[in-house]
Structures are given as structure tokens and as C-alpha cells.
Structure 1
Amino acid sequence: MAAPMNRLTVADTCPVADGVRRVRLVGELRSYTPGSHVDVLCGTDERGRPRWNSYSLTGDGFQPEHYEISVRLGSGGSRWMHQLRPGDVVEAGHPRSGLAPVQTARHHLLVAAGIGITPILSHFRAAETWQRSVEVHYISRDAAHADDLPGAHITDSRAEFWRGLDLTDQPLGTHLYVCGPKPLMDEVMTRARDAGWPPARIHAEHFATTPATGGPFTAHLRRSGTTVQVGENETLLDALQSADINIPHRCRRGVCGECVTPYTAGEPLHNDLYLHPSQH
């Protein structure tokens, strides 16, 4: 990996909701921008490749005594994370900003669904620390971290959620931050745009993108002269790694931007959420 690594020790873990476990890491820590994430090496995948997962830091970011993340149990990397115990050592990257608060905003409107609460919690804690105007709307079946969000509008009902979230009457200078499943994020952002919100005041944190789709093609690597066959519904990254050609990468989900690679010809199919459409 091209980016510097950091060895961190698990200080403690505990459940914060059904299927959600909080993990605190200590070691060489840095202050970070609220809404940042860290990449954690979560063992290897079924093909023996390093598995990197990105997790949002939930603290306020200022001179942290520990890095705190919350992990929903699933398959692969998240299951590996749930097996961690105090004293275990993990490899991680340094914090990277993905959903930074706008310092000049007069009001911060924070919207989360499910485990998307993690970067939103970081924003909320920072707003509380620095006494900024903030409002939280959170829809979830298990409401992880509900106790950490005093004054938040929390519900498990979509109807109640939309009744409580008023996008048409917000203070001048408000910025909107959204994180959660893509359908809800898209609906929130669409309603905000329809209500006249400027794009520059709508911010989103994406956890994943759509799977690779498309027909087979041939990739010609200009510098080495190598030719690589890419199969149907296979990513170029997967094909390169299968050919023992390694390039910098992290998330494998089109979110972090670590594997951005220039091309000289052809029309690549972009499924990422990192590049702006104008860069495709």
C-alpha cells in the first residue's frame, strides 16, 4: 500500500445496539476533521488478498485519546472486526476527511439512517464541543448511539421521519449532511434540491457503490506493454490483481479514490462515487 500504516491496539469493545459493536483503538493518534474515516486491515478475503474496510470515526476529532468506530455485523471484514478483543493489534491508515463540516455554516442539519449515524455522530459531537448550531434527524430500527445524541429526532418510522424533517424552513446559511443507505440519501437530497437548496450546501457520505457491470474488454497497459483480459462484470482492479499487477487501492468499493488511474483511450464504465461526473 502506498499510504503510511499505523499499528493500533484495541483498548475496549462493547455493543451499542443489536449487531453493532463499538471499538476503541489507541496508539499514535492524530486530531482529525469531524466526519473522517480510517481504513482498517481486516484480515484477507477468500482469495487471500488484504481486505481493507473504511470506518467512520465517531469522536469530535480534537486531540483524541482514542479512535472510536462502530461496526455493524455482516460478512467479511465486519465479522473480523467483531472478533477483536482488548489487546489485539490492527493495522490502519491515518484519518482521512470524507464529510467535513463547513466552518462558515450558520446551522448544521444532520440526517442519518442506520449505521450512517457514525459520521453524523462525529459532526454532532464536534458541534457540541464548539457550540455550533446543530440539528439531528435519525431513522433506524435499532437506533445505535441514541444515548449519545441528546435532543435528536430519532424514529423507526419513515412517515414520522419525513414529518419531522423540514427542508423548506431552515435558517439562512444552513448546510445539510446526509449519510445512510443510498435510496434514503437520494430521496433526502432530491427533496432538498426540489426545495431550492444550492448544491454547495448539500453534503453526503457514501458507504458503497453499485457492483461492477458491463461486458468483457481488453486493457492495454501503456507503460509495460502488458495486455489484460477483463471479464464480464469484473472490475479492472480485480483483473489486474489476478494478473499479479498491483496498483494502489483500498476500499474496493469505488469510494476512497486510492485506485484512480488515468486512461488514454476508450470509454470506461464508472461505477464509483469518488470522481465528479465531469471527471468521468
Structure 2
Amino acid sequence: MANKYEMFSVQVTAVEQATPLIKRFTLAREDGAPMPAFTGGSHVIVQMQGADGRQFSNAYSLMSDPRDTRSYQIGVRLEEQSKGGSAFMHQQVEVGSVLTISSPNNLFALDPSAGRHVLIAGGIGITPFLAQLHELEAGSTAYELHYAFRSPEHGAFQAELSSGPHAANTQFYIDSLERKLDLATLFAGLDDAAHVYVCGPKPLIDAVIATAASLGIAEQRVHWEQFAAAPVTGAAFTVVLARSGQELQVEEGMTILQAIEKSKAAKVECLCREGVCGTCETMILEGEAEHFDQYLSDEEKASQQSMMLCVSRARTARLVLDL
């Protein structure tokens, strides 16, 4: 599938060490032109190339004020088992560096039908909410932010939240100080107009989804985002590329995209490799997919019309794709 995004160059105009593991980068066009407009919850794909020629593409939430199109800000956490992207951003990107990024896309927008917005962040998952808080400040809908992190030094942007206009709406939960987030108690007090949003580590997202379900909160009122590819598990299966008739074996621990690239059987565009950008969306001609992306809606996944090759796998032993 063709690239759905405009790609353009930006220069890094500021770098801030927000915590021992998180840096904030400010990005602006080299010619000073306005950046594309975005809404809170949007992300961009950042393309990087290391000194050894290796290329990386990572999705990062925009955390700056959507009303300010002079620049974007992103927060990047240095991952302990970095595949290259976060390490590159932390170790090689500095003021003056030039990066290629995509136009913004939003898979995590605030629901306009909500009567109350309950935002739950874990660690670096605070970033999309920082942009959304600007929108909430300008609106009239009630909101609250619950921000959990390991220790005081890991509370990225805590000082800004504590002293800014959202201080009265924000609660902090710090593991090392035994201040734990009690999801059951939090959700028990919500009415049917409230919507819940969560971004952060997978255990937090899973806990929010499970707790909400156990208390009867409708799935449509729970929104989540995580930029991390699902673990590649499950039995091996066969993929048939319909246009060439070529058959590929996708082994356990391998994605369909990796199998195609390894065999050089077809050219597939993919920016994120995390199931969020949609560029590797491919039509399914036969068989069923096990969807692990965040791009398709639940209805689109159920229709089994298409799939994201970078993360999703086959539910059936054989899958025929329009490639």
C-alpha cells in the first residue's frame, strides 16, 4: 500500500533531559514554515539512520500545544532493550540535527461525546495527554489526570503539571513512595458519561481494560494507546502472495513483513513496524487474520478485509494476500 503520509524534514531546535531516561525534543521546519496542524493524541513517525546505515522508524506522540504550529515536541524514553530508535534519539540526536518525520495521525483522540474525560498515564505515556490537556483547558468538559510512575526522579514533566493550570485536576501515584493507583476505586465513582483513556506500559493498559470490563464499563468508553509491537507468538503458517503465486512460511517469532522482506518476495511499505501507521495495510483474499494493530477499528478487524503485515498474524493455517 502506498505511503499515506507526507514526509518532511525538521531540525531539532532544543533537547531537554526531562528524567534520567526521558528526553524532550523540539522540532521545527528548517525554513520556518508552520508545521501541519494536529489534535491532542496525535503521533508522528520519526525516521532515523545511524552512522552504520541502519534505518529506524518509531512513532512518538506529540506533546506540545496543538494551537502552536511553530514547532512540535516529542518525548522519547530510552528503552532498556532498544531496537535502535530510542538509543539513536538519546545518543546521536542533538540541537541542529535534521530528522525526517511524517505528518500527524490521531488514533487516540478525545471522544467529543464524553461528559467527563479520565486520563490515566504511566511513565512516558504522559506525552499524548500533555497535548490533550491544552484542548481540555480551552473546553468545558470535566476532566482529571491520574499519572503513575516509579519514583520522583522518573516523573517526567511533573513540575509543569504541579504548577500549571491543570494542577487541581491532576493526581500523582509514585511506586517508591507507596502511592498506588487503585483502579477499582477510581472507576467505581464514574457515571455512564465518563470515558477512560490510558497510555503507558502494557501491564497498566491491561489492568485498566480488565478493571473497566469487570465493573461494566462499556468497551466504547475505554481508549488506549501503546507504541510497542505485540510479541510475535503462535504457530507457523503459510502466506500466499496472490499476484505472484509465491508461498511463504511464516515461522513462530517472525512477522509476515519480515518473511516477505527476507524472501524479497514483494515490496511492502512500512513506516512504524508497530501497527500504528497503516502503511503496510494489505487486503486479505482468503483466510483470517489475528489482528494486533491499533490502526484498524474493531469493526474493520472483524470484517477480515485487510490486515497490518508488521504485527498481525494468521488465525488460519493459510492466508492469501493481495500482493
- Per the alignment, residue 260 of structure 2 pairs with 240
The answer as to 2:36 corresponding to 1:30 is yes
Aligned positions, number: 279
- Per the alignment, residue 120 of structure 1 pairs with 129
CA distance change for structure 1 residues 231 and 201 in 2, over 3 Å: closer, same or farther? closer
- Per the alignment, residue 71 of structure 2 pairs with 66
The answer as to 2:190 corresponding to 1:184 is no
Aligned counterparts, 1:27-176, within 5 A: 27=29, 28-43=34-49, 50-74=55-79, 75=82, 76-82=84-90, 83-141=92-150, 142-149=154-161, 150-151=167-168, 152-157=170-175, 160-162=180-182, 166-171=186-191, 173-176=193-196
CA distance change for structure 1 residues 210 and 132 in 2, over 3 Å: closer, same or farther? same
1:118-169: CA deviations, max 9, x gaps?
1122222221233542201011021111123223111213763117961121
AA at the equivalent of 2:7: M
Q: CA deviation at 1:15?
A: 0.8
Distance across 2 between alignment mates of 1:262 and 1:24: 37
AA at the equivalent of 1:23: F
Distance across 2 between alignment mates of 1:137 and 1:248: 37
Percent pairwise identity = 35
Distance across 1 between alignment mates of 2:159 and 2:303: 41
Q: CA deviation at 1:73?
A: 1.0
CA distance change for structure 1 residues 111 and 223 in 2, over 3 Å: closer, same or farther? same
Distance across 2 between alignment mates of 1:44 and 1:219: 32
Secondary structure of 1:263's partner?
Answer: strand
RMSD: 2.4
Q: CA deviation at 1:50?
A: 3.1
Secondary structure of 2:11's partner?
Answer: strand
Give the unaligned 5+ runs of structure 2.
162-166, 305-323
AA at the equivalent of 2:232: A
Give the unaligned 5+ runs of structure 1.
none
Secondary structure of 1:102's partner?
Answer: coil
CA distance change for structure 1 residues 106 and 221 in 2, over 3 Å: closer, same or farther? same
